Each structure stands twice: as C-alpha cells, then as structure tokens.
Amino acid sequence: MNGAESLVHTLIACGIDTVFANPGTSEMHFVAALDRIPGINCVLCLDETVASGAADGYWRVTGRPAATLFHCGPGLANGLANLHNARRARSGILNIVGDQATYHRPLDAPLTADTEGWARPVSGFVRTAKSAATVGRDAAEAIAAARSGTIATLILPADTAWTEGGVAGETCEVPARAMPDDEAIASAVEVLRSGEPAMLLLGGRTLRDATLRQATAIAAATGCKLLSEMFNARMERGQGRPPIERIPYFIDAAIHTLSGIKHLILVEAKPPVGFFAYPGKPGRLWPEDCTLHTLAAIDQDGSAALTALAQAIEGAEPEIPATPRPAPSTGAIEPETVATTIAALLPDQAIVIDEGISFGRGFSRFTHGAAPHLWLQVPGGAIGGGLPTAVGAAVSAPGRRVVAIQADGSAMYSIAALWTAARQNLDITVILLANRKYAILLHEFVGVGANPGPTALGMLDLGNPDLNFVKLAEGMGVAAAQAPTMARLNELLASSVEHKGPFLIELLTG
C-alpha cells in the first residue's frame, strides 16, 4: 500500500464519501488510488473556486465534511475566496493539496509556491505530509478537525503519495461542542426578567426549527426581540417554522433595527458590526448604552443553551402563526413579485442558495409562506459563492431541489459550476437575476456623493455587451431560457422544479 492508497482508505474509514476535484500531475498517484479503491464519489470541477464552494455547500446541508482535491499552491489559491466564505460559514472541509515531491521543492520548479502560507489564513488545521508512512495518520487528524467545523488543509507532496509503506489512519475522536455555561444562562435569565429592552441575536447552528421554537418561546414569555445575523450559513424556514428576520445589510437600517436595545444576548453569534465602515458612521451596530452578553460563543452549543434558557424562563412554546402559501405573482418584475413566485413554487424541502445581492436582498421577508426549506447565504461576502454552493448542496442531497437565486455579476466569478451541474445532472434551478450592472456598487458610489461619470460607469456597469446567460448555460450543457415577464418566470420555475437535472432562468430585472 502506497501513501496515496493509505489516504483513500483513511478517507473512507473516517466517513469522507465525496471529493470535489480538479487534479494535476502531482496528484496522479492519488487519482490512481481513488480509481482502484471504490467508495469515494469524485466530482470534477472546472476550477477550484467551484470545488471549494461545493465542499462548503456539502457541509452546510449535511453537517459532514467533503474533501477537495487541489493542484499545488496556485490551485489552492484559486479556491481561497470560497474557503474564506466557508470559514465564515463555520463549515468543515478537508482540503487535499497535491504538491511538489519533498526533495523537489527546494529546486523551485515553476509551480512551486508557498502552499502552507496561502492555506493558513483560512484553515484551522494545516499540515504538510512528511512521508508515506504517516500520511494516513495526518489525514485522520485533519478529518477530525474538519468534522469539528473547521477547514483542514493537508498538503500531499507527490512522493508521500507514491512511496510504499502507507498505513491507513484510524478515526480520531471529535470533541463535543462545549455545553452552555450555567452562569451565562443565569445572567441571561436575569437580563430577560429585568424588563429592560433585550434582544437575542442568533447565529450558527441555532437557526433550525427546534431551536427557533425555543427562542420564540423565550421571546413570547419575556418580550425580548429575536434577530439573526446579517448573513447566515443555514436557516430552516418556511411554513410551520418560526420566522426570524436578519440584521439588515445597509448600515443605517442595521443601526435602526438595534436602536433602543439595552441588552444584546449573543447565541452562537458574533458582536454585530457593519459589513463595511462608512465615513462618520459607527462600525458597531449596537447602541452605546447597550450591554453585550454571551449566552453561547460561536464554538459552543447555542441550541442547548436556548433549551436551558427556555426551561429557566418557563416559556411555553407559542403557536407559530400560519403563513398562507401565496400564489405566483403576475405583476411587474420587482423583488417582491419574484420572491412571491419563489414562495409559491418552491418544492417541499428545497434548498435555496441566496447570492441575490441587490435585487434579491429583500426576498427572504416574502418567502416565509413557502414550503419548508433551507436558506443558505454567503456569510463571507466573497462574491462567487452561490453557484458552487448550489453544486455541493445538490450533490449532498439527491432528490431535493436546489434553487439558486443568483446575481449576474457574482455569477461570472464561478460560472463554470454550471458544467458540473450538467455532468452530474444535478437538480438545480438557477434564477439568474440579470440587471446588467454591479447595482450594489452603483448604490455605494452614489453614497460617496457623486454621480458616476464614464470612467466609474465603465467599472460598475455590466452591459456593453450584455451577458447572455442562456448561451453561457447551453455552452456548458445546461438547458436555459430567458424570462422577460413574471408569467414566463412562473412557467419556467414551475416546470424546472418538476424535471430532473439543472435549468437556468435568466430573469431580466434591469
């Protein structure tokens, strides 16, 4: 057994079943081992940003890590932006980065780069394998790190793969997440009973049905407000589930939403701050006279904390108001009409990937009446996360429909994801919001206090020439059509969610 074979055996033994791959020469022995030893689903991605985003999507749906396979430092570099998003989503991923043989690295061949240096800022675990004999154990430790919800990067010099003497690693234990602190719960009880305006800010794994019910019970019993973070990795939403709003993106609205709050209780949430700084505006979103309390830190079990808190408060679980499922909208193409149509036509247990940026920003408030679904955002803010996350989500959950709400500018960062969707015949419907501009930047530009002239428009406008997403999709084997009206959107969305395989709807929103 060579090192590569020991690595494949370790992956299988430790529960890795999927690799999103774009291999190169230095990974050929590993590819050969994957070929010989059955048990891993290898999904080819046309570049690494698709692979890393797909692994993020896989984790967010399943809570289990997938692996990526990258080629040397530059291959890893191509995947970094979506690894940044995955880190902010607190997703676990195992990166396997093939690299120069240990003895070849000092010769500085062209593809030699600082692979570890590039990996470190996004990885909770980085290791370069030293030998074929130890790579199995390295992988087992890396997988344990990934299973705990961090990015683990294992660099695999070619000779540690091809040399004989590999030993499969054994599963390492993953420590359970820390339980809530009794004092933190007691302190939250005191705050909530004080009668002062309080808010629970929920993040991380608390945005699931059962936990949201606990939070809603606490809110009903104490009058505190409930809010979730601005961008969330995963929210369970839809009919029968407690609706929860998010911190708004725009700075003034965000500050307004938190105004008057005297106690902000964080539950797997970070202290809320502006997405960017703006001249003369505060960076922290909570009022100056508001006290922060941590019920559960981001690496603790916030759901257990909320359960304990609900018991202490003696909050009875409130009835969730029935939100009627709307009919598809037939008005003009506006954010509200499009969101209403999505709410109307979303299949049960769908997975929504939201990289809707400007046009899609308000969709969530019109979709509480949809069938129960998952809603995944791009928590790191690096654009281009949407389509790759959709690929990973669809690979992880056969039989569920993925609906990707996708802005046009961001789509072009990782458009090659469509090809993988076609090859794997993934059940993804892309609603491509084609406004043909970087609308968010035009908004920000005006905020700077000027009307854009030709130079600025040349950097903020996506027209001239217009992108034709139908042709782009068809060029990668994905069926597609344009929707110039709501009627056509309704027709295409209804039909696409009924049919196996991917479909792209280019919605002209401009």
Residues 202-241 that bind a second copy (CB under 8 A): 230-231
Distance CA 503, CA 490 (A): 14
Are 26 and 52 spatial neighbours (Cβ–Cβ below 8 Å)?
Answer: no
To a second copy, the closest distance from the beta carbon of 485 in angstroms equals 22
**Residue whose CB is less far from a second copy, 157 or 242:** 157
Binding to a second copy (CB under 8 A) within 104-163 occurs at 104, 107-111, 113-114, 117-118, 120-122, 158-159, 162
Residues 384-403 that bind a second copy (CB under 8 A): 384
Q: Minimum CB separation from a second copy for residue 502, in Å?
A: 11
Q: How far is the CB of 31 from a second copy (least distance, A)?
A: 5
Omega cis (within 30) before 398: no
Please tell me whether residue 499 binds a second copy under the rule CB under 8 A.
no
Contact 508, 434 (CB under 8 A): yes
Q: What are phi and psi of 351, to 5 degrees?
A: -120, 115
Cα-based angle 258, 259, 260 (whole degrees, multiple of 5): 115
Can you tell me which of 137, 270, 400, 437 binds a second copy, judged by CB under 8 A? 270
CB of 313 or CB of 431, closer to a second copy: 431
- With 0-12 CB in 10 A as exposed, 13-18 as middle and 19+ as buried, what is 223? exposed
- Rounded Cα distance between 182 and 88, Å, is 28
The one segment of 188-196, 277-285, 347-355, 428-436 that binds a second copy by CB under 8 A: 277-285
Q: Where does this chain touch a second copy (CB under 8 A) — which range of 25-33, 135-143, 195-203, 235-243?
A: 25-33
How far CA 17 is from CA of 14, 34, 56, 427, in Å, comes to 9, 11, 14, 20
With CB under 8 A as the contact rule, which of the stretches 28-36, 59-67, 304-312, 399-407 interacts with a second copy? 28-36
User: What burial class does residue 498 get, using C-beta atoms within 10 Å of its C-beta: 0-12 exposed, 13-18 middle, 19+ buried?
Assistant: exposed
Residue 380 binds to a second copy (criterion: CB under 8 A): yes
Q: Cβ contacts of residue 182 below 8 Å, gap of 6+? A: none
Segment interacting with a second copy (CB under 8 A) among 293-301, 324-332, 377-385, 392-400: 377-385
- Give Cα 448 distance to the centre of its chain: 30
- Are the beta carbons of 387 and 415 closer than 8 angstroms? yes
Q: How far is the CB of 380 from a second copy (least distance, A)?
A: 5
Residues of span 458-497 touching a second copy by CB under 8 A: 458-460, 464-472, 474-477
Interaxial angle between packed helices 302-313 and 209-222, expressed in degrees from 0 to 180 and rounded to the nearest 10: 30
Residue 346 in the binding site for a second copy (CB under 8 A): no
Q: Which of 32, 172, 298, 497 binds a second copy (CB under 8 A)?
A: 32
Cβ distance to a second copy smaller for residue 300 or 329: 300
Told to check if 25 binds a second copy by CB under 8 A, we report: yes
The window from 138-146, 179-187, 349-357, 457-465 that contacts a second copy (CB under 8 A) reads 457-465
SS3 128: strand
Distances (CA, A) of 1 to 5, 33, 41, 123, 128: 6, 10, 21, 29, 20
CB of 477 to a second copy, least distance (A): 3
Q: How many residues of this chain interact with a second copy, rule: CB under 8 A?
A: 103
Given the rule CB under 8 A, which of 210-218, 274-282, 332-340, 361-369 is the region that contacts a second copy?
274-282
> Quick check: 83 and 122 in contact, CB under 8 A?
yes
Site string for a second copy, 422-451 (x = CB under 8 A): xx----------------xx--xx-xxxx-
Applying CB under 8 A, which of residues 64, 284, 325, 436 lies at the interface with a second copy? 284
What is the C-alpha to C-alpha distance for residues 405 and 355, in angstroms, rounded to an integer? 6
Q: How far is the CB of 117 from a second copy (least distance, A)?
A: 5
Q: Please tell me the number of Cα atoms within 13 Å of 366 on its side-chain side.
A: 20
Residues of this chain, 42-61, that bind a second copy according to CB under 8 A:
42, 44, 46-47, 49
43 φ/ψ sector (left φ>0, alpha ψ -120 to 50, else beta):
beta
Shortest distance in whole angstroms from residue 105 CB to a second copy: 9
The first and second tokens of residue 418, run together, are 């469509």
**Only segment of 74-82, 217-225, 348-356, 386-394 that touches a second copy (CB under 8 A):** 74-82
User: Is residue 165 near a second copy by the rule CB under 8 A?
Assistant: no
Residue of the chain from 10, 18, 26, 214 that contacts a second copy (CB under 8 A): 26
Q: Give the type of residue at 421.
A: A
Specify the stretch interacting with a second copy by CB under 8 A; choose among 84-92, 142-150, 292-300, 303-311. 84-92
